[in-house]
Amino acid sequence: MGFLNPWFLGGLFAVGLPVWLHLLKRHKTDPTPFPSLMFFEHREQSSVQHRQLDYILLFILRMLMLILLALLFAGPYINRLTPKGRGDKLVVVAVDRSFSMRTKEGTSTRLDDAKAEAMNVLSKLGPGQKAQVVALADTLQAMTQQTADPGELRGAIQAIKESDARASYGELARYLRTLSESTKTPLDVHLISDLQKSGMPPGFTDVRLDQDTDITFHTIGKVQPNWAVETVIAPQHVYDPKRARISATVTGFSAPAATRTVTLLMNGKTIQSKSINVPENGRGSAEFAGLDQASYGFNRCEIRIDSGDGLPADDRYAFSVERTDPKKVLFVDDGLHPQAQEFFRAALNATPDSAFQLEPLRPDVAANSDLSKYAVVVLNDLGSMPSGLEQSLQKYVSSGGSLFEAIGPASAVAFPRVPVLDELIDGTSYASREGERFFSVSDLDTGHDVMKSVERFDGVKIYLATNVGAKNSQVLAKLSNGKPLVLERKVGEGKVLAFTSDFGAANNDMPRHYAWVPFVQKSVAYLGGAGSGEQPTNLSVGEYVELRTGNEKGAQAEVQDPDGQRVLSLEEAAQARNFALTREGFYEVRTAGGKRSLIAAHANRKESDLAVIPQETLDLWKATGSSGPVNASGQGTGGEGNTTPWSLSPYILLLLLGIALAESVVADRYLRPQAQPQETKAA
């Protein structure tokens, strides 16, 4: 028996309180009326009889209450045998089914050999021995409950199928810790795997095992050379097929130097092939120029190599490309800033395959044009607004269009309020030679999509800026004088972005600054919906595809797997926020917002490295499950892992409550004042 808080036993000294109450209390005698005491002799009365204990039963009850109260605070416990102490064991057979288990060893795969080894482990179980079969990949799947039925266990082993996911030994350790805590039983774990080094988590503590967890490693396969298509860099959208570039990297894992043929396929047809040299344990790359055979819409592409190794599944890499025409951007300019159009066009076309095509128009022509065919309309410091243009812009933006306007000195003179943005214009701020000489950008909202990649406008000089109010708009960037430089406002279903200077080089040096190109490209992409909030289409197995945002509740999403089967139930289609890619291939996805995409999933290339975990790491991992602490050499030191503290506090508390109730009854009986008899009157 032990105590969790033994210092509370000092409360036993409180047992003196009942002694004082019952033994050393003052003796009180009620006075009795008497005619005269003159004939009585004065005499000392002995108090010995008053020092004797009164109400013995009440005294005992109070003593027990104080003793039990002190014991309760001290937290007494006894060591009690657990199922671990009785020798019960649960056998856990963990079979690795990750992508690397597809590797061929002779005429069979590593998964086939792992299943055979698992059957061998089950054959050694004793009669009535409970066991559980689990399958390991990026997540752990329990194939059975804890059972002693050999037929069920063998059937579970045969039901394990290959996976395209990577192995995670951290997930296995987490599951074993949970199982050990819930069952209070020693675990005899058999991990049947190729023990890839890449399956270990970054922190060794993630594979820690609970005490009395014994793990046995059954290594399947041997290290062998493996060549794989490690990465493919390809554009998500192709606007000019002749300018498209695709780069593929081929890696040799534990492999000698070799020459490999790299082939680009599109929609099942071979497009180009190249031979590259891959150095020993190194990488080689191949680049393909032009995608002239890409059809409009989504294209299913693939890079293949002729490796001839034991893991042919990583000799191909799937990716998708969407061919479409560039979106049109209308640039409305009155001709007063001849350089502005060239600066804007140069920034927009700075990338090899731009998603936007600039089309300049005069304001009077734009007023009679169909604005709905443009992804973005740009106003460059207009000094006048033709009749009907502002109304057309207002209707265009309210219907979901996007407007990007520069409010320079010409607009500041011509308009009392910013067109469509509808914010007050209060003159201009000019940094004269006698004053600050120029304004700088002092504050940026770097969390916004427009400013996220622009970082800071360090070194940008603004000589003249328009003072625009921000009553209903969000300020994305401020000048050093506190005035807004970039504002945004949602108008109807569309957006308006305003820049409080012009796009020329007369009133600022933005077009000659390195921040100009990312600012223009990110702004137009954000307004035009190209790349803004767009998720990647080439992902690894185990990653997630977003199906809806918070504003699309109840809308239906749709996912078709590589076999063309719908994988979402009606409830999931209406409520699921994302979808996990579980296998390689192409997934056709329609989000709740109506956007369609072709997602290409490939196995994580960490699985292509077949290097195994070092033996010393396995020894340390095994030692974490010993019954005692681990010494410096990583070995268990032993200990008492077969007993657990069993608290006696609940029982003491129940006994204390019972005695307290008894004390109340006895005290009420003994200490109740005696009723005084009434004097009878003489008749």
Q: Which tokens hold the place of 648? A: 């006696």
3-state secondary structure 573-632: HHHCCEEECCCCEEEEEECCCCCEEEEEEECCHHHHCCCECCHHHHHHHHHCCCCCCECC
Report yes or no: 493 and 399 within 8 Å, Cβ to Cβ: yes
What pLDDT was estimated at residue 319? 96
Stretches where the chain sits below pLDDT 50 are 26, 48-50, 85, 532, 628-641, 680-683
CA dist., res. 344 & res. 519, Å (int):
10
Nearest to 146 by CA among 124, 129, 125, 130: 130
The DSSP secondary-structure symbol of 554 reads: T
Instruction: State how far the Cα of 110 lies from the Cα of 196, in Å rounded to an integer.
Output: 12
Cα–Cα distance, 493 to 474 (Å, whole number): 16
State how beta strands 140-142 and 213-219 pair: unpaired
Nearest alpha carbon to residue 122 among 143, 97, 92:
92
Report the DSSP beta bridge partners of residue 93.
Answer: 133, 190
Contacts 24+ apart (CB under 8 A), 523-526: 523/404, 523/450, 523/497, 524/329, 524/348, 524/356, 524/376, 524/404, 525/355, 526/449, 526/450, 526/497
Helix/strand/coil percent split, the chain, to 5: 30, 30, 45
* Structural contact between residues 644 and 79, judged by C-beta atoms closer than 8 angstroms: yes
Extract the tokens encoding 7.
């210092």
Please state the length of the chain: 683
Which helix (H) or strand (E) is 22 found in, with range?
Answer: helix 16-23
Burial class (CB in 10 A: 0-12, 13-18, 19+), 227: buried
Handedness of CA 187, 191, 195, 198 (dihedral sign): negative
Rounded Cα distance, 488 and 475, in Å: 7
Q: Among residues 337, 333, 361, 379, which one has the least CA distance to residue 508? A: 337
Alpha carbons 683 and 679: distance in angstroms, whole number = 12
DSSP reduced 3-state for 445: coil
pTM equals 0.70
510-518 long-range contacts, CB within 8 A, separation 24+: 510/457, 510/460, 510/462, 511/339, 511/340, 511/343, 511/347, 513/457, 513/459, 513/460, 515/454, 515/455, 515/456, 515/457, 515/458, 515/460, 516/343, 516/347, 517/347, 517/350, 518/453, 518/454
Taken in order of first residue, the domains within the chain and their CATH numbers are 2-78+648-670 (no CATH), 90-223+611-623 (3.40.50.410), 234-324 (2.60.40.10), 327-528 (3.40.50.880), 538-602 (no CATH)
Cα dihedral 341, 347, 348, 350 in deg (nearest 10): 140
